[in-house]
Structure 1
Amino acid sequence: MSLAGLVLLQLGTLVLFALPVLALGRALLLGRPDPRGTAPALAFALGLGAAGSLLLVAAGFGGLRRELVLATVAAGSIAFVAIARRGSLAPPRAWTGAFLFCLAALIPAWVWGLYPPTAFDATVYHLPFAKAFAEAHRLVVVPDLIYPIFPQLAETLFAATMVAAGTDTVANLIQWSAALAVALLLFETASRLYSRRAGLLASALWLAHPLVHYQAASAYVDVVLACFALAAICCWERWHEEGSWRWLALSGAAAGFAMATKYLGLLWAALLVATTLFAARRGRRWRGALLLSLVAALVAAPWYLRIYSATGNPVHPLLAPLFGGERAAEVAPELGLDEADSTTGMAAAVLRRVGEVVRRPQELALFAWRAAFVPEAFNRQAPLAPWPMLLAPVAALFAWRDRRLLRWLLLVGAYAAFWTTLQPRFQLPGAALLALAGAGGVEHLARRFGALGRAWQRRGAAMLLAVAVVAPGPLYAVYKIGKLGAPPPTDPSAREDFLDRKVPCHAAVRFSNERPGAAPTLFAVGAPELTYYARGRFLGHVLGPHRAGRIVPYLGDPEALHRELRSMDVDELLIPVGFRSSLLRGAELDRLFRPLYADARCELFEVSD
């Protein structure tokens, strides 16, 4: 395939999937009062969740097949045209300029997404799940992965795009389109509540995060989660303003989509229920909380029932003491839930964590500082921009007179209190809400001071400010593209050569894949990021039934190590250079482990029968 062909494939896939998603979202919005008052971003967010839910139903009947996916896309595109001809998808005129601004900011991330996938979590489990779904034409449990099952709305969407286009580079288009939808939803909401200038600034604050661009170019799920969480909050605000119960039902649906994407969505749903109980008008609180909870639960139920049927625990591996199975402390030690041996212990740990944040709120500020300026604290991940952190005090200054700002800041703070500061990417829903609050704070500040307000009202000044604010995000993507080298590889051989250079030990997996015969079962030590590239089964994750720790007791004993590997039906063993002296020692070494491949990074052995 030529570079032009790859670009056209990406563009075509993006457009053809966006059309039915928009049609689905508009169908959900048609029942509410004045559907034309809502621009396409909210319709896209709701339609994306609805598409994932419908794919779950189709996958239950083996419907993840190319012909069925393409037929569905065609039908959705026809529906889009029919709805568009009635004018109900026409955005406000001011929306077009914001769309072009956000689109231009995300073009580098789109180009970045043309490269073969190398992002860690994407190749460890997100894409392996999607590949397994595509190969089986249905949603399956994958016991060899670090986590065998999750809420997987986003991975189901990844699989559908991969099935339709026949390549994996299209999977990140789900995240990319969600990043664009968040930016435009921020513009729509801030423009309605404050001004178009505030809307443009809110979009810029979101797109200023280098982490957003990294995620938009990768098959992660955190931007999709942020899209659904923000949509739920925006629908809730419309219900609070207008009183229409349809808006609250849509808020519950969006919260359900967030729950179906990641367990952190449960927290956003709970926070919205709590907000309804505390902030809604009297006489509507309990009814509102019940409606929101019921709709969210109904939307998310199929995904959690699937997890329950596979593991006996609807939130596997959390709350294992209540449902049985592996403990959270064993399956997810990075959460620090050592007290999870009992249900009361987990509750006590959560309450203690919240209490620590309340007593030392400076810890949240320290996290924001590290996420922006100390990438070493998070294994050199893409950073968050500092602007929302700097504007949060401005929003807090006016929270006493604008209850919306107070609600948003409290939601962000409450979300951050529940272990979500472990990783910057967990904070992307909060970052979107902080962008909205920051833009609202600047609008209040401009109205308060005359000179600043006059400058703020100049259209050119607002655009210059937005360009300056947004710059770190696109520039980071351009920098990363430069490091990858141009142009992106387009043919299979060039793709493999690229991955050999960029992914440690990929050359050994490539050698294994190219060997004749059946796909081998490969056990790798310390290289989980190779999972997606292996032709056969890949074992040796940090966690799970075939974890790397199973061979630790047999270090230095080749015969015992050989028996353990063969008990897992392992055909090949991959170890980093330097591990051989500790893993493989003894006179029986060459008889039990035949060298196949070696380079400066790793060694590959065949495990004898």
Structure 2
Amino acid sequence: MFAAAQYAALAVFVVGCWGYGRALLGRLAPPPRRDAGLEAAMAVALGVGLFICAFQALAIFGAFKVGATVALVVVGVLAAAVQLPAWLRERRALLANVQAVPWSYPERVAAIALALVVLPALVAPLAPPIAFDELMYHLPYARQVAQQGSLGIHDWLRYPWFPYNYNLLYAAALQLSDDVLPHFLNALAGALSVVMIYRLGMLHANRLTACIGAAIWLGLGDYSNALIDMGVALFVLSACVALWWWRESEPGKPTHGGIRWLGLAAFCLGVAAGSKYQALVFLPLVAPFVFRHERSPKAWALVFVCFLIPCVYWYARNAIMTGDPFNPIGARVFGFTEWTPADYVQQVADVRVHAELPNALIWSVFFAPFSVLWKRSAAVRAAGWFCLYSLVVWVATSRYPRYLTASFPLLAAIAAIGWQVLFGWAASGVKRLFGAKAPQPQDASATVARSGARVGDWVLVLLLAAMAAVSVRQTAVKVSMVAVTPEAREAVLRKHVPGYAVMDYLRRTAKGRVYQVALNEAIYYGPNPIWGDTLGPWRYTDFGRLSGGDLARKLSGMGFVAVVLPDSVAPVFSARIDFDKYFAVEYEKDGSRVYRILPVAP
């Protein structure tokens, strides 16, 4: 019942998104290449973007309440119900023109592989929140917005000035349900982009490319948390789809076709840029591409307006309040505010520490230009150039794999073509190998073909067996993380969230402010809000050199009543002069402890 309730809530939201997105897409001319699946996924993605804009507008004016959220969902569902009959007729007409093509053996194998990858992804969102970043600021921010019904600057979070578009969906989920539902909204972004990659593969390449590309991206995605990287990836991919629809649109009909697709692409990029700063790196790629084909002031005015609608609030707010529209990453240009130069250096160093190669599944992207699909399809080449640009920018900046997530869907699609090239070369090598050893009678070629086919069949069978084993193991791990009862949830959280027990204790008992040290990954489960971080105005180093008395006076003067920290840090903390006179252990459990601040003279 727990899983059914979560999936039912997600289904209602998806229907509402489709209702809004379909209503808007219906005002545009049909795409040049009709595909019912791709258009439906785009409608849902557009609906997600419209929900985000509606939530943002409500929160700006302090009206983001439960009633408003429910009303928006209900209106979306009603819009879907009104449009459904016409859409079903249109879908039947589109499918009637599609000729059924038999599945080849490699395609069936790829489809089975895709199904195996789906299994753990279906279970993963059911786990309670345990990922570092979702507990450190994604969910704490969403909870704060959900409780207050408005947007605010919460300086106790590590990134109070970041754009938080996609997190507004999590805030709405927390208004209506528990903290597992945000995982499903993150998973929705991944699922929609998987559908898009599959349909794009069918349109511009072949079924094998569609299955392999969808399986790669599905395998790379993380469906067990409430991060926003897959949400950004969805809207970057949607922007690319809309851009290609614009590029292929019929010339001579700018008001009914091309320019409106351009506006849709700009809107999707705006939603992405309003969710994470990294999405801005695609503007230098997209802008020249558009300018090369469209220089009309009217078109560019539409592009700017559609791009700014979802994201201008965040950047304008930051510019007005701090002078840095990209706070804090623009500090070197616009000046430092909450962060100091040392914070900036520490953040950059942390990113570099995590630098590593991306998943090996996408390395084959460099072999795609050797495919006939590359030569045959302009869309494949355009996607390939997008991938090359993304990789060059990524290497030149962070080399942190998660910062490449926005490009993963198209990287997966092009990598699927590269894998076909590699397997094709391997198959040719096997045929030559068997051909060199085979006798020379008239049926030699047939013998070689059969031998090569048998080897290929065994390779595919072994690959499927390995994938099945991995899928079963991962699914079992995901199932073990699902917590249906409060007791099971507490057991999972105590095992996977360091400091959960003491944070939960403080959430229930603290009567004043709490300062935490080195337990950022657990603050979602602590008092709301809770202060302390390695960066920003509540950085640990600002309190690090004080004696026990001075530290107690400073914390007490700020309204703090307790300090919570892990046992590993406690010796450094308690080694201060006169520490025992001003701090006393109040509670300790699972490797962390709470110190009560004792009364001190002013």
- Note the 1:421-570 alignment, pairs <5 A: 421-440=398-417, 479=473, 482-483=476-477, 486=480, 488-515=482-509, 518=511, 520-554=512-546, 557-570=547-560
- Note the 1:103-122 alignment, pairs <5 A: 105-122=117-134
1:175: how far off?
Answer: 1.2
Q: Does 1:164 align with 2:176?
A: yes
Q: 2:316 aligned to 293, 299, 305, which one?
A: 305
- Note the 1:56-71 alignment, pairs <5 A: 56-71=56-71
Alpha carbons 2:230, 2:406 under 8 Å: kept: yes
Question: Could you tell me how far apart the structure 1 residues matched to 2:581 and 2:415 are?
Answer: 66
1:153: how far off?
Answer: 1.0
Letter in 2 for 1:596: E
Q: 1:29 to 1:426 in 2, by over 3 A?
A: same
Question: Could you tell me how far apart the structure 1 residues matched to 2:582 and 2:332 are?
Answer: 41
Alpha carbons 1:228, 1:257 under 8 Å: kept: yes
Letter in 2 for 1:423: Y
Q: Does 1:411 align with 2:425?
A: no
Alpha carbons 1:592, 1:607 under 8 Å: kept: yes
Letter in 2 for 1:193: H
Q: 1:153 to 1:189 in 2, by over 3 A?
A: same
Question: Could you tell me how far apart the structure 1 residues matched to 2:47 and 2:462 are?
Answer: 30
Note the residue ranges of structure 1 that are not aligned, 5 or more in a row. Answer: 339-366, 368-376
1:114: how far off?
Answer: 1.5
Larger Rg: 2
Q: Does 1:232 align with 2:239?
A: yes
Question: Could you tell me how far apart the structure 2 residues matched to 1:118 and 1:299 are?
Answer: 29
Q: Secondary structure at the match of 1:336?
A: helix
1:475: how far off?
Answer: 7.0
Q: 1:479 to 1:333 in 2, by over 3 A?
A: farther
Q: Does 1:593 align with 2:589?
A: no
Question: Could you tell me how far apart the structure 2 residues matched to 1:201 and 1:400 are?
Answer: 20
Q: 1:181 aligned to 188, 192, 197, which one?
A: 192
1:302: how far off?
Answer: 2.6
Q: 1:498 to 1:435 in 2, by over 3 A?
A: closer
Q: Does 1:579 align with 2:586?
A: no
Q: Secondary structure at the match of 1:535?
A: coil
Q: 1:32 to 1:442 in 2, by over 3 A?
A: farther
Alpha carbons 2:383, 2:410 under 8 Å: kept: yes
Question: Could you tell me how far apart the structure 2 residues matched to 1:217 and 1:466 are?
Answer: 29
Q: 1:549 to 1:400 in 2, by over 3 A?
A: farther
Q: Secondary structure at the match of 1:48?
A: helix
Residues 285-335 of structure 1 deviation map (CA, whole Å, 9 limit, x = unaligned): 987666544432343213322333443422111223544443685444356
Question: Could you tell me how far apart the structure 2 residues matched to 1:443 and 1:102 are?
Answer: 16
- Note the 1:139-150 alignment, pairs <5 A: 139-150=151-162
- Residue of structure 2 in register with 1:351 after alignment: none
Q: Which has the higher mean CA deviation after the structures are superposed, 86-95 or 384-393?
A: 86-95
1:62: how far off?
Answer: 3.0
Letter in 1 for 2:404: Q
Alpha carbons 2:65, 2:149 under 8 Å: kept: yes
Question: Could you tell me how far apart the structure 1 residues matched to 2:268 and 2:461 are?
Answer: 28
1:30: how far off?
Answer: 1.3
Q: 1:291 to 1:570 in 2, by over 3 A?
A: same
Question: Could you tell me how far apart the structure 1 residues matched to 2:143 and 2:371 are?
Answer: 49
Q: 1:415 to 1:207 in 2, by over 3 A?
A: same
- Residue of structure 1 in register with 2:22 after alignment: 26
Question: Could you tell me how far apart the structure 1 residues matched to 2:413 and 2:526 are?
Answer: 43
Q: Which has the higher mean CA deviation after the structures are superposed, 108-117 or 257-266?
A: 108-117
> Percent sequence identity over matched residues?
23
Alpha carbons 2:274, 2:311 under 8 Å: kept: yes
1:145: how far off?
Answer: 0.6
Q: Which has the higher mean CA deviation after the structures are superposed, 543-552 or 496-505?
A: 496-505
1:99: how far off?
Answer: 11
1:222: how far off?
Answer: 0.4
1:217: how far off?
Answer: 1.6
Residues 214-245 of structure 1 deviation map (CA, whole Å, 9 limit, x = unaligned): x2221000000100001111111121122522
- Note the 1:59-138 alignment, pairs <5 A: 59-87=59-87, 90=91, 105-138=117-150
Q: 1:267 aligned to 275, 278, 281, which one?
A: 281
Residues 2-26 of structure 1 deviation map (CA, whole Å, 9 limit, x = unaligned): xx2x212201210111011111221
1:541: how far off?
Answer: 1.0
Q: Secondary structure at the match of 2:5?
A: helix
Question: Could you tell me how far apart the structure 2 residues matched to 1:563 and 1:329 are?
Answer: 27
1:499: how far off?
Answer: 1.2
Letter in 1 for 2:64: L
Residues 233-287 of structure 1 deviation map (CA, whole Å, 9 limit, x = unaligned): 111112112252222221111111111111111112332113334xx44x65987
TM-score of the aligned structures, taking structure 1 as reference length: 0.79
Alpha carbons 1:225, 1:265 under 8 Å: kept: yes
Alpha carbons 1:198, 1:439 under 8 Å: kept: yes
Alpha carbons 2:199, 2:210 under 8 Å: kept: yes
Q: 1:467 to 1:599 in 2, by over 3 A?
A: same
Residues 403-455 of structure 1 deviation map (CA, whole Å, 9 limit, x = unaligned): 54443333223233335543211112222111222345567899999999x99
Alpha carbons 2:242, 2:265 under 8 Å: kept: yes
Residues 61-84 of structure 1 deviation map (CA, whole Å, 9 limit, x = unaligned): 333322321222111111111111
Q: 1:163 to 1:478 in 2, by over 3 A?
A: farther
Letter in 2 for 1:173: F
Alpha carbons 1:506, 1:530 under 8 Å: kept: yes
1:87: how far off?
Answer: 1.7
1:593: how far off?
Answer: 0.5
Q: 1:248 aligned to 240, 248, 262, which one?
A: 262
TM-score of the aligned structures, taking structure 2 as reference length: 0.80
Letter in 2 for 1:564: K
- Residue of structure 2 in register with 1:296 after alignment: 307
Question: Could you tell me how far apart the structure 2 residues matched to 1:284 and 1:58 are?
Answer: 35
1:479: how far off?
Answer: 4.2
Q: 1:313 to 1:598 in 2, by over 3 A?
A: same
Question: Could you tell me how far apart the structure 2 residues matched to 1:265 and 1:95 are?
Answer: 39
**Count of aligned pairs:** 547
Q: Which has the higher mean CA deviation after the structures are superposed, 90-99 or 537-546?
A: 90-99
Question: Could you tell me how far apart the structure 1 residues matched to 2:302 and 2:225 are?
Answer: 35
Q: 1:529 to 1:391 in 2, by over 3 A?
A: same
Q: Does 1:223 align with 2:230?
A: yes
Q: Over the residues paired in the alignment, what is the CA RMSD in angstroms? A: 3.8
Q: 1:479 to 1:118 in 2, by over 3 A?
A: farther
Q: 1:257 to 1:410 in 2, by over 3 A?
A: same
Q: Secondary structure at the match of 1:574?
A: strand
Q: Secondary structure at the match of 2:389?
A: helix
- Residue of structure 2 in register with 1:341 after alignment: none
Q: Does 1:393 align with 2:367?
A: yes
